Structure 1
Amino acid sequence: MPPEQPTTPTITTRLLSLTGLPSLLSTPHDALLIILNRTTRMLSYGASSLILALFFSSLHFSDTQIGLFMTLTLVGDVLLSLLLTLIADRLGRRRTLLIGATMMICSGVVFATCENYFVLLAAAVVGVISATGGDFGPFRAIEESMVSELTEAETRAEVLGWYVAMSSAGSCAGTAVAGWVVQFLVEGRKWEGREAYHAVFWGYVVMGVVNVAGVWGMTDRCELGGGKGRKGKGKGMGVQVQVLEPETDATRETEPLLAGPSAISRSTLSVMLILWALLMVDNLADGMVSMSWTTYYMDQKFHLPKSMLGDFLSVAYFLAALSSVFAGPMARHIGLVNTMVFTHIPSSAAVLFFPLPKSVTATFALLLVRVGLNNMDQAPRAALIAAVVKPEERTAVMGITGTLRTLASTMGPSVTGVLADGGRFWVAFVVAGALRLTYDLGIFTMFINIKLNRHEEGEQQVEGREGDEEEVERRRE
């Protein structure tokens, strides 16, 4: 029987590989459920962020009350996220997500039925309501840790790319659907505005139920050690039990510094402290030039119709979702750090030069560059964190990362407010762009040669040599 001839990849196969879709489809179905949950959740977050201020205004709450609500909601989300991510691996990741989804349902029911300011505030602070459209609750860090557990090093960035891309698509869809629903109920059915907003929050409840169903469909592979057999697989929603190994010189070197269910070792902290500092710089900059501030600046500068601003953002967000798909395949070819830096630098430069153009067209072009490329570093960044920390530390580390990033971003808007009041609005973009470029250069300098995947089955790779099969084979030997 003649030997089989190697098949040449077709054009279709090559195109599919550029999207990372084969990696996604080869991953256990749990990853698809995680992506589905994130997409539907971001759909509800996008809807709530569009109508929340309008809902409160229809109830005759003051602007001060609305601002206080958003601030306290953000603080509540940060604290809830930190608490649940620190205990998730001990309690069980699926159980923790189930708690979060249940709280999401409860908060949605309160907003769909209640109009008392303090009751709504309590439901938002203690429960899960997104006031800004961002995923600041307990879900993202745990889900990224689960995806990291389900994937191998070579496919992780591509699957995470789809996780980011579908979340952007969900957020855009939620914003659009909420606008259509409110317009139909108010103009077509002659409902009062607050009644239409209540109806949208019932949709929030439905998305919470979808998240509960998605969690119940996940298997033990999502739990710590469940994906690659590093620990015994539990059954159902049971708590994972870890067998401790005898203490050795090697274990003493990585003795946990943080007590509790999700201890973080010295070796991990030595890497993450640098990354956390750089990420806080980046998120301080993002807070200074958030989309709310950016659209406000464009409105003040060009006096554009609100519909045109909405169209601009829709196109930009579509590009962001599309580009996120290609972040994973790019990371496979040029490396995680290179992908993070080389896609983020043009976005940062667009922020830096944003005040410069005198025309709407040039300003819109810079907006497309900024937003269209801005999310391409998210999947490689999550994959980088998963590659440099121990599997049992991922959930806690990602939770702390999200908390610090959120706290840093909350400081930016007040800085921009002071600059805008003083007639120096444009300075915020220059400073933010410079800070973002500082972050990019810092990431490249500090992490370009970092060893990846040391904790995954003895594999060692060097960033920048990920495509060098001989180097990988030599390190394995």
Structure 2
Amino acid sequence: MTHRPGGSRVTAWLLPEGVQGGVPTLLVARGLRGLCDGFIAVLLPGYLLALGFGQLAVGLISTTTLFGSAFATILVGVLGNRFASRVLLPFAAVLMMATGVAFAGLSSLWPLLVVAFVGTLNPSSGDVSLFLPLEHARLAEFATGDARTALFARYSLVGALSAALGTLAAGVPEWVAARSVVLPLMAMRIMFVVYAVSGAVIWMLYRRLPVRQFSIDTPRMPLGPSRGIVTRLALLFSVDALAGGLLVNSLMTLWLIQRFGLSLGAAGQFFFWAGLLSAGSQLAAAPLSRRIGLLNTMVFTHIPSSVCLIVAAFSASLTLTLTLLLIRSALSQMDVPTRSAYVMSVVTPAERPAAASFTALPRSLASALAPTLSGALLGLGWLGAPLVACGALKIAYDLSLLYLFHHVKPDG
């Protein structure tokens, strides 16, 4: 590994050989966002139920949030090449601050829906927010080839670990309410204030990002020669996102509560261990992809995880169900860093911001449709339906991706 004067072992891990500076700031910001996303995704259904809303409202707010993320992604794709990321990333952090303050203070459905649309709330286990295409484009500037895959793996690992830790914080309101005079609803509102304060810290981090260093002479542009590849990838990714949207963490929490009577604290502990397994799998994605390729890593780790999900839908045992879901967590996220690296490797450097945006856009739109459908299915009483639908759609996506792109090789 290249020696970095004065660098620590941690810095060396954050900046593998072939990676340029500026990465630690993005990784710290990603970690802080992951902490917030972790507790918000688990806390959100309990918070909405405490406000007096039903199952359909939980799905509706999740859907509205994801539609808002899709709209923001459209803007990044259309306008992102006109504005520097040093402007757009701080703006996203300001939206995060406003989102936390609004959710902490509002109690009516329609105002919450408006904030869910324009804000940055993330009810899922992955990152589907405005931040994603902006940070991906910056990360791709700092590395090439295998170093880029390793960098995206580190980025995904930091997000997964921090989100896992964040899920534990979902039990804080219950703990505080049981040991003080603070009402449970007020304790949950305070967590949204924490979300807003975290946005302020992220804003300060983004302001420290250096000017563009990698490929500085290459102007950014909308999609050009890679349009066909990006379009096909985006359509396939939308199928995967539609499936994943049926089981965002907030709805999985609702399912566990209704199927097995889990408390928010117990659900938070489950998602913590699931997040740790996901984090470990993402760390293994880079060396595995070097052995079998990016595409094979995406597909052949994804299919077994979907099978586990389908089997869990028919399990009547809490222990067996949680075991299957943990196995799924150990496999299902290995495609996250490899997918990001694959997209950045099959387009030209100038197209990367647009490619990151336009592959994220259909994912956001498709995943936005799913939570309301899932909430409606849960309300009808067939609790296993979202799990079966999610697993079947993901298997179809994996097989289609392998068939259509086995001949497309990533560049360095």
Query: TM-score range, shorter-chain basis?
Result: 0.7 to 0.9
Letter in 1 for 2:130: P
Query: Helix, strand or coil for the counterpart of 2:127?
Result: coil
Residues 409 and 164 from structure 1, CA distance in 2 versus in 1: closer, same or farther, beyond 3 angstroms? same
CA RMSD of aligned residues (A): 3.2
Secondary structure in 1 matching 2:150:
helix
Residue of structure 2 equivalent to 1:363: 321
Q: How does 1:177-256 map to 2 (within 5 A)?
A: 177-180=169-172, 182-221=173-212, 226-231=213-218, 242=219
After superposition, the Cα gap between the structure-2 partners of 1:118 and 1:388, relative to the gap in structure 1 and judged at 3 Å, is same
How far residue 358 of structure 1 moved from its aligned partner, in angstroms, is 5.7
Provide closer, same or farther for how the CA distance between residues 173 and 448 of structure 1 changes in structure 2, counting only shifts above 3 A.
same
Equivalent in the alignment of 2:34: 42
Give the secondary structure class of the aligned counterpart of 1:29: coil
- The offset of 1:228, in angstroms, is 3.2
Amino acid at match of 2:39: A
> Does 2:351 match 1:387?
no
Superposed displacement of residue 354, structure 1: 3.0
* Alignment CA distance shift 1:316-1:289 (3 Å): same
Does residue 102 of structure 2 align to residue 110 of structure 1?
yes
Q: 2:152 corresponds to which residue?
A: 160
TM superposition score normalised by structure 1: 0.74
Q: CA deviation at 1:23?
A: 5.3
Q: Is the 8 A contact 1:87 1:262 kept in 2?
A: no
Residues 140-168 of structure 1: CA deviation (Å, up to 9, x unaligned): 11111111111111211111111111111
Structure 2: segments with no counterpart, 5+ residues:
1-8
- 2:203 is aligned with 1:263: no
Q: Flag the 1:85–1:425 CA change in 2: closer, same or farther, 3 A.
A: same
Distance in 2 (CA, whole Å) between partners of 1:146 and 1:152 is: 12
C-alpha spacing 1:432/1:198, structure 2 compared with 1 (3 Å): closer
Judge conservation of contact 2:244–2:367 (CA < 8 Å) in 1: yes
Could you say what secondary structure the match of 1:354 adopts? helix
Q: Which residue of 2 aligns with 1:8?
A: none
Residues 203/84 of structure 1: CA separation in 2 closer, same or farther (3 Å cut): same
1:65-92 CA distances to partner (integer Å, 9 max, x unpaired)? 5554443333222212321343223200
Q: 1:353 aligns with which of 307, 311, 318?
A: 311
Once residues 96 and 352 of structure 2 are traced to their aligned partners in structure 1, the CA distance between those partners, rounded to angstroms, is: 24
**Which one of 55, 72, 92 corresponds to residue 100 of structure 1?**
92
The structure, 1 or 2, with the larger RCO (C-alpha pairs under 8 Å, 6+ apart) is: 2
For the pair 1:146 / 2:138, whether they are aligned, the reply is yes
1:188–1:410: structure 2 CA closer, same or farther, 3 Å change rule?
Answer: same
Aligned residues of 1:387 and 1:452 also touching (Cα < 8 A): yes
**Inter-CA distance 350–49: structure 2 relative to 1 (3 Å threshold):** closer
CA distance in 2 between counterparts of 1:436 and 1:38 reads: 26
Gaps of 5+ in 1: 1-15, 232-241, 243-260, 454-458, 460-477
Pair 337,61 (structure 1): closer, same or farther in 2 beyond 3 Å: closer
**What number of residue pairs does the alignment pair up?**
402
The answer for the alignment partner of 1:447 in structure 2 is 405
Distance, in Å, in 2 between the alignment partners of 1:106 and 1:437 is 38
Separation in structure 1 between the aligned mates of residue 116 and residue 148 of structure 2, nearest angstrom:
33
CA distance in 1 between counterparts of 2:267 and 2:14 reads 36
- Specify the code of the residue in structure 2 equivalent to 1:373: L
Whose radius of gyration is greater, 1 or 2? 1
Q: TM-score, normalised by structure 2?
A: 0.85
